[in-house]
Structure 1
Amino acid sequence: MNALLNTLRGNVRQYGMIIALAAIVILFQISTEGVLLKPLNVSNLVVQNAQILILAIGMVIVIVARHIDLSVGSVAAFVGAASAIMMTQYDFPWWLAVFLGLLIGTAIGAWHGFWVAYVGIPAFIVTLASMLLFRGLTLVVLKGATVGGLPEPFKAIGNGFLPEIGPDTGFHNLTLLIAVAAVAVLIVLEVRRRNAQAAYNFDVLPFPLFVVKLALLTIVIMYFAYLLADARGLPIVGLILGGLIVVYTFIMNRTVFGRHVYAIGGNVDAATMSGVNTKRVDFMVMMNMGLLSGLAGLVTTARLTAANPKAGVNFELDAIAAAFIGGAAVTGGVGTVVGAIIGGLVMGVLNNGMSLLGVSIDWQQAIKGLVLLLAVAFDVWNKRRTAGSGGAGAESAEPSAPPPDKLAEEIEAMEAELSVDSSGDPSKT
């Protein structure tokens, strides 16, 4: 029990929102008399919130690098409008329009990165200007009208589902197979991670608690897959979102670029003196946000089956809220992709649950604002708590993890050799 309490105490930011999400789900499941977790509603929840979750992935990286992007909603609307015009008025193949839409989003992100990284204008100002610029250009491109008549394969990106395979089991077989594969990969990665930490004598969960953690993750994933499989299966946009989560989690945790982003967000001066090319990293961060904004715009247009001048309104606020609710620090340097997804799900479940209960849109906005304020206040409180107590792991008597046994033996041998040299042969240094 002490190990569990110490783990939770040292990872309040990590586990706090997971507990909050579970509590919100249970609350609305009871208050809606079981409607929230009905298979069809869960499927709709994924489809309706996919674009915000995509933006949240990019936004948390921007916030970790101590920037902000206010233009993502306008950029998404502009990319969706431009792609729709390509397909309807210029007869571009849908796949080419998608590719060019992603290219436009990436170019806009590079434009932001140039002003932020190389000219030195704060990202807040640059993206505020772009928010106005591309909202206006969206109206120009669409001429103030909604453009429909999009190809069916394109609309499937936002509304389609994976095909049926195998025998008729009453469930969507492919969805269940993907879930089983995801659980297997997750277990392998968690075991490898635990073994690597244990090899360097880092603190790890006791084995029984580790097994409980894996069991809980397995239950959650398989139950979620069961609900989707009992409806229409995994949405195509859900598969896209899952791929993005895996790719960007790997980038932020396992690549040099990801470490540089965290280093810059933690202390930009120290990162610069350490040889990090801060300008290039900032440029890449903003360009990546443009790419994901373009993807979110395409998903939104496909889901709505038309390009609308009002598309993307308040997307930036929802994405920023998802990142902060998911544990990103206001000052930068802290935040995870999975945390941003959890924050986005908190917002999505709140929207869906309140809509099912008939709560008016004005009260929904007010409640979401309070949730965001409480999340940031929690972040500030947690930072002060850890600063005052020495941070996570301060309960440990040792200031840091001891070196592995083999390394300790090598250090002792070197110290003994130096001692002999200094006492037995004064000429050696």
Structure 2
Amino acid sequence: MSVAPTNADLAVDQLPAAPGGPAADSPRRFNLNLRQSGIYIAFALIVLLFTVLTGGDLLQPQNISNIIVQHSYILILAIGMILVIIAGHIDLSVGSVVAACGAVAAVLMVDHNMSWPLALVITLVVGGLIGAWQGYWVAYFGIPAFIVTLAGMLLFRALTLTVLGNRGIGPFPDEVRTLSNGFTEGYLGNIGLGVLGGADLFSLLIGVIGVGGIVLTQWRTRSARLRYNQAVDPLPLFIARIALASFLVMAVIVQLARFKNLPWVLILLAFLILGYSMLTNRAVFGRQIYAVGGNLQAAMLSGVKVKSVVFWIFVNMGVLAALAGVIFAGRLNQANPQAGDQFELDAIAAAFIGGAAVQGGVGKVVGAITGGLIMAVLNNGMSLIGAETEQVMLVKGAVLLAAVAFDVWSKRRAAASR
């Protein structure tokens, strides 16, 4: 099976060992891939810029918490959208699906007093059925995803209006509001952090566990590359990179622990990011998604069931859109007909800014999350400096165009260098 060159590490355990020497003799060199690393550099620069422009308010504990809570549904959508785009498709209907599934959840929980766990499961099933409906037309009937999901944008917005009767429904149960807006309790009490004040010990321990997971995952990836004689960064550079990532994660956790502890939605996002990263990096289905988007004909000749893969990525998108719909409705404590307006644009922008390729076959879950965070910081930072709505839209559009232009430029540059 062939996969895109920038994701070769996804199939590292399928590669044969290179002949002629042990892994220790493999070349080790510094190779900064701007296509992969540029997004993180850009994110750091944007955070630094708005930190200066806002006088440090951007990085205040409460504001960091607000960024995560207020944009969590976009990050959830970005996870599903990156898989759709990697496979070479697009989904324009996710905003309407968010609204429709939020409406379904409201009718079940509020109008019919159904227990929230059962209502949540039913809502996710409804989202999956919506994804299956669209996936069928794309995968098995052969209609382009652009057309199918454009029709879905209208169909499911109409469904939202029908379900809600053009009215808002609320309030939601306390458990749903807690998942959307709530924070973990101070289970182990607070500890002193010197000039930073106090912070929740439980949140700090979660951060330490998260950092440990990052270190372990990166070390295993490096070791796998060495076993197959692939080029890796020099050990000092590798350690420096991991140390920087660990520092940034702990810095965010400390700020959250100083405010109201960890948002529950952040914990949900952490599980989603971990699960989908493992899916794309380790699972056969994840590699098949890259194969379909990278070279459709080669994927078919390799025995990949292309129609099935495409069908299931749309089912997955529907389920994640349903989850985002419940989170968004719970945050507002109401399902309303205008919910999800232009969410599809933010999710698509997050995927492309995060490194997805226009032609498909390239992209990472972490990159999509980073792209979503860039959009969140832009929204939040420009709000803090009092920018007008049209200015925010102008900057977001320019950033999206720049990201896609960079992708096209980097491909042309790589083709010219061969």
> 2:29–2:234: 8 Å Cα contact kept in structure 1?
no
Answer yes or no: is 1:327 the counterpart of 2:355: yes
Aligned AA for 1:102?
Answer: L
1:121-136 correspondence to structure 2 within 5 Å: 121-136=143-158
Cα distance, 1:162 vs structure 2 = 1.2
Q: Which runs of no fewer than 5 residues in structure 2 stay unpaired? A: 1-26, 192-197
Moved more, 67-76 or 136-145: 136-145
Which residue number corresponds to residue 395 of structure 2? Answer: 367
1:81 aligns with 2:112: no
Q: Deviations over 1:185-208 (max 9, x none)?
A: 211121122122112221111111
Counterparts of residues 166-185 of structure 1 (less than 5 Å): 166-169=188-191, 170-185=198-213
Distance 2:305 2:385 in 1: 51
Q: 55, 75, 84: which one pairs with 1:33?
A: 55
For 2:260 and 2:190, the matched residues in 1 are separated by 13
Find the partner of 2:274 among 246, 269, 275: 246
SS in 2 for 1:171: strand
AA partner of residue 190 (structure 2): D
Equivalent position to 1:48, from 70, 79, 84: 70
Distance apart, 1:167 and its partner CA: 3.1
Of the two, which has the highest radius of gyration?
Answer: 1
Q: Does 1:100 align with 2:122?
A: yes
1:120 is aligned to 2:148: no
Equivalent of residue 158 in structure 1, options 170, 173, 180:
180
- The aligned amino acid for 2:272 is L
Match of 1:36, SS state, is helix
Are 1:61 and 1:285, in contact at CA under 8 Å, matched by a contact in 2?
yes
Instruction: Give me the whole-angstrom Cα distance separating, in 1, the residues matched to 2:128 and 2:117.
Output: 17
Aligned-partner Cα distance in 1 for 2:270–2:228: 31
On the 8 A contact 1:4/1:209 being kept in 2, the answer is no
Q: Provide Cα deviations, 1:386-428, integer angstroms capped at 9, x if missing partner.
A: 11123xxxxxxxxxxxxxxxxxxxxxxxxxxxxxxxxxxxxxx
TM-score normalised to structure 1 length: 0.88
Aligned residues between the structures: 386
Q: Aligned pair 1:347/2:375, yes or no?
A: yes
Poorly superposed stretches of 4+, deviation over 4 Å: 3-6
Structure 2 letter corresponding to 1:349? V
Match status 1:378 vs 2:406: yes
Alignment of 1:193 with 2:221, yes or no, is yes
Q: CA deviation at 1:45?
A: 0.3
C-alpha distance in 2, partners of 1:201/1:279?
35
Show CA shifts across 1:136-195 (max 9, x none): 111111111111121111111111111211133221222111110011121112112212
Out of 296, 299, 310, which is 1:268 matched to? 296
Residue number in structure 2 paired with 1:388: 416
In structure 2, C-alpha distance between the alignment counterparts of 1:187 and 1:336, rounded to whole Å: 18
CA deviation string 1:90-127 (max 9, x = no partner) = 11011111111111101100111111111111111111
1:209 aligns with: 237
CA contact (8 A) 1:179 1:222 kept: yes
Report the RMSD for the aligned CA atoms in angstroms: 1.2
Counterpart Cα distance in 1 of 2:347 and 2:49: 24
The structural deviation recorded for 1:341 is: 0.5
Which residue number in structure 1 is paired with residue 31 of structure 2?
7
The corresponding residue for 1:338 is: 366
Q: Among residues 230, 252, 264, which one is paired with 1:236 in the alignment?
A: 264
Tell me by how many angstroms 1:6 deviates.
Answer: 4.3
Determine if contact 1:64/1:328 at 8 Å carries over to the other structure: yes
User: Whole-Å Cα distance in 2 between the matches of residues 198 and 275 of structure 1?
Assistant: 29
Q: Structure 2 length normalisation: TM-score?
A: 0.91
| Amino acid across the alignment from 1:147 | I
1:224 counterpart = 2:252: yes
**Structure 1 residues 190, 366: closer, same or farther in 2, change over 3 A?**
same
State the alpha-carbon separation in 2 of the partners of residues 374 and 387 from structure 1.
20
